[in-house]
Every structure is written in C-alpha cells, then in structure tokens.
Structure 1
Amino acid sequence: MSSPIDDRRTMINSSENRGHGVEKAPDSAAGGGQNAGPAFDIRIAADGTWYHEGAPIRRLAIAKLFATVLTRDDNGDYWLVTPAEKGRIEVEDAPFVAVELTIEGDGPGRILRFRTNLDHQVEVGRDHPIRVAHDSATGEPRPYVRVKEGLEALIVRSVYYQLVEVAEPHAGRIGVWSKNTFHPLDQDS
C-alpha cells in the first residue's frame, strides 16, 4: 500500500516535474521525535516558491498538498509530516506569502482578510495576529500574519502599504484593527 508521500511522489514525477521526487523516510522517522527523519530536498524560497531538488514545483496543487502536512517545531525547524513519513525542509523566510488583502468595515470591528500564495484565507484577529519585525540596520519592516500555529505568511510590500493606509493611532502605537483586536505596525519603542 502506498503512503501519502509516495502518492505525492507519483504526482510530482508527472511529465512537468519528472525526476523531482521525495525520498521515503526510514520507518524509524515516521513516529519519532521532532528531530527524527531525514531532510527532504524541498525548499520554500522567500518569495513563496516551492522547490524540489533545485527545480520549482510548477503545479500549485502539489505545493498546496505539501502545505497541508507542513509543521514547525519548537526549534524553528520546518517538517513535512504524514502518518507514514517525516522529513525536514528548508524555509528561507516564511512558508507562505500574503499576496492580497480584503478590508471590510471600519474601526475596531473591521475585518482584514489575507489570501496567501497557496490560497489560504486568513482573517486577522486574536488567533491570526499581524507581527512586524524590523531590520536592525535599516529599520525596514518585515510584516507577517499567522496562518496557523507556528506558520506565518510574509505580507508582500504592496499589501503592507494597503495596511498602512488604514492604520490609526491607539494607545501610543500606530496599527490596524481587525475583529476588535489592535495590531501594531510600528516599532515598539
């Protein structure tokens, strides 16, 4: 009987991605601890493009399928985990990219909804906060939104500018409201 990764290997090895399969993890890795399992030759670039063995995974459906089994451990390592296999992958920045923003309403009750490069729909709120890191040398913002536990989407610059347009002051900070939760966009002084 084939495993979920074996099934994905078959799909990846389609004519447009031939030769870019995933190696099967040893049986000991399937149920092992967070550091068990081999590294799969899969990388998610900073722009959200998924690669296997150095070649882009061209079929969006395959990247979406892999994203359903993507997790991050307490050490910050990213893993593809199925009941049968487990393998570490490389993520250059965040595993997803927020590419579109929809704004509904005004003030604290406003709803901000992001769409990611893999078509996740994320409503900003307590469970899906916005976090803005700042480059220590340049002060340039790097905004993120939590997609699911341990996994974030980098908010692309054009979408971040949309957030800035609806930003307002609150409690000495500049930020945005969504679902009655305030999300600072400025640096904490």
Structure 2
Amino acid sequence: MLSNLQKQLQDQLPGLDKTYPPVEEWNPEYCGEIPLSINDKGEWFYAGSPFTRPQLVNLFASVLKKEQDDYYLVTPVEKVKIAVADVPFIITQWDRDPHTRQIICTTATADTFYLDAQHTCELRLDPKQNQYLPYINIRRNLWAKLHQNVFYQWIDEAQESAGNVILYSGDYAVSLGQI
C-alpha cells in the first residue's frame, strides 16, 4: 500500500503550482490505517523500520493532513491514517532575516517559514520534561515543536519582560515561558 501511495504522489506533484499540494481540497475515500508512524522526535517509521530516504519523508510530509486529533496522508484518490506520537514536525534550525529581524525556522522535513502571526506559537506542557515548550503552527493546522538545541538558543536570544521570557521575531513577540 505504501508503494501505491508513493506512486500516486509522484504522479500528482510535478503538475502542481503550489509549494504544497492542496490536501485541504482533497476529500478522497478513507482507505484504512497503514503502519506508518512519527515518533515524538519527528522520526518517521514504516512497520517499525526507520525511513532512510529523506526525500520520501519530505514527499509524505507534503501531503499530511490533520482532522480533529488524527493524521492522514492524502492524495486525490486515497486517504490513509497514520500514527503521530506528538506533532509531526521538529524545528531543527533557525536564523534571522538580516533586514526584517524576523526569525526563519526550518524543520527536519525542509519546511521553511517565518515565525510570525501566520505561524503562531503556543506553549504546551511536555509531560516527559514536565515543562511548557513552544509549538509552532507551520501550515494547515500542522504543528512543530522545537529541537532542544533550538529551544536553548531561543532562550539565549530572548528578553525578560514582567516575569516572562519573550522572543522577538521582527515585531512579533513570542512567550517562551515564565521565569
């Protein structure tokens, strides 16, 4: 089933003008669940074996869709459910735009975006670490969490304001928690 899904995606993607396929417009028939999972570190697995080709992960990530609390890979003709432990994406790199001072985030799946009002940030309790961590809405209600290194770098960049740790991305302010 995975190879059929891969073939459908490769056939569809070359003709698309958008950066991401319009999965929100696709409403194919539900075809069941496949043994594809994303762990809490953003690593992708099929039947318990890790994906070894980043291009394949990026391809599948481009057609990921969230409905309520469930995640699906969607093509125009097929919709399959997958398991996601926390969120599907991890922000592994960041930089500042030298002109606007906005933060540019990059995920492990090569999604790149500005930290801004379109890519909102919220603090969520991480039960493993028993602390609140920032999660970023990267697209279509799909969220990413920060890699630990990025989180610590952002803490170093942030400023204290009235007991809160605030990170600025251009004019957009993000709370990283309380002191």
Superposition TM-score, scaled by structure 2 size: 0.78
Following superposition, the deviation at residue 5 of structure 1 comes to 1.2
1:111 alignment partner in structure 2 = 102
**AA in 2 matched with 1:41:** P
Specify the SS of the correspondent of 2:87: coil
Specify the SS of the correspondent of 1:37: strand
Asked if the contact 2:28/2:75 (under 8 Å) is kept, the reply is no
1:84-120 superposed Cα distances (whole Å, 9 cap, x missing partner): 10011001111011111112459xx521111111111
Identity %: 26
Specify the SS of the correspondent of 1:122: strand
1:26-80 superposed Cα distances (whole Å, 9 cap, x missing partner): xxxx634xxx43111110111111111111111111111101110101x211010
Say which one has the larger Rg. Answer: 1
Asked if the contact 1:40/1:87 (under 8 Å) is kept, the reply is yes
Q: Say what the alpha-carbon RMSD is for the aligned residues.
A: 2.7
1:156 alignment partner in structure 2 = 147
Whether 1:82 and 2:79 are equivalent positions in the alignment is no
Q: Distance in 2 between matches of 1:93 and 1:138?
A: 14
1:22 alignment partner in structure 2 = none
Asked if the contact 1:174/1:185 (under 8 Å) is kept, the reply is yes
Following superposition, the deviation at residue 174 of structure 1 comes to 2.2
Q: Distance in 2 between matches of 1:53 and 1:182?
A: 41
Structure that is richer in strand per residue: 2
Asked if the contact 2:9/2:59 (under 8 Å) is kept, the reply is no
1:92-149 superposed Cα distances (whole Å, 9 cap, x missing partner): 111011111112459xx52111111111112100011222213479642322222112
Structure 1: which 5+ residue stretches go unaligned?
Answer: 11-29
Following superposition, the deviation at residue 171 of structure 1 comes to 6.3
Following superposition, the deviation at residue 153 of structure 1 comes to 1.2
